[in-house]
Structure 1
Amino acid sequence: MSKRTHARRGTTRPIRLLGDPVLRTECDPVRTFDTALERLVDDMFATMYEEDGAGVAANQVGVGLRVFVYDCEDDKGRRHVGHVVNPRLVATGGELLVEPEGCLSVPGMRFDTPRHAYAAVEGVDVKGRPARVEGTGYFARCLQHECGHLDGGLYIDVLSGDVRREAMRAIRDLRR
């Protein structure tokens, strides 16, 4: 489905920002596969495109369900567009890459974040059919990032050392 199709079908929702408890709460599994779930996925795509993001997790739009959408390229320049319901990060591997990463829920900030060069996610689609998504490079980073959201985490949680201290200072200064 194209970017325009999702944007046309979906309605943008406000992105929840750091400090909102929904971002720090583990999301519940989806148990009902219906038009409301399809509408949520369309809304998440519309929101992601409106905010110029590479992915959005359901809790970022205030819904505590295990769903995320994505539209990003891998390290070979191949574009990946889709969604996963009830995703599980089942594999990571390869080199640990430390590259700048940001988040729509922590706007305006980017920090060097360690992520594996490969990731695989298993779950289902909006119809309940099995889905497996795997990728490398930036796409692998996106898969790890979105799965982290659904577990109640943010990318700043994987930072350490001086980078973590810098991020915490920047967030503290932003809240003043």
Structure 2
Amino acid sequence: MITAIAPVFRAAGQADIDAVVALVESAYRGDSGRRGWTTESDLLDGRRTDAELVAPLLESPEHGLILLAIVEGVLRACCHIERHDDSAYFGMFAVDPSLQGSGLGKHVLAEAERIARETWHCRAMHMTVIDLRSELIAWYERRGYRRTGEYKPFPYGDERVGIPRRDDLRFELLVKEFSGAAP
């Protein structure tokens, strides 16, 4: 049992792809995902991601990266952040289901925001969340994100990101403005 969460952060490299895919799958799909509160198992079957989708995210480190959170030498959380002009995109956020609720996710989100603000000089962070995930949206709202009412359709037919169990899935855009962001 890990009692104190003190993550070490680093950017993922090609050698980390399989571990990232395994972590994301464990957090969102199947029985392992049901151990945590971020599971999408009731909404989607199939895979959440794969190596073919993760590998290209590592190709342009000046514009994006997969941030790894290592706790006691083990990959326990990750996210993808990508710069888009003066804002950053946050996605592929996964925390080991056994550590969800421990505060590790807050550390990862804060580090991603710090990189976007201080390294890339972004003015905001944005993300998309399945709008039926009210508990997850509420978690982001407690961290300063606001719902925009802007929606994107779910990519029905693309089994690389899951097989929908419902026909009413869509993503909502959430945004957090950074106060005092560098110009």
- Output the TM-score relative to the length of structure 2: 0.30
The TM-score, its normalising length taken from structure 1, stands at 0.31
Higher helix share: 1
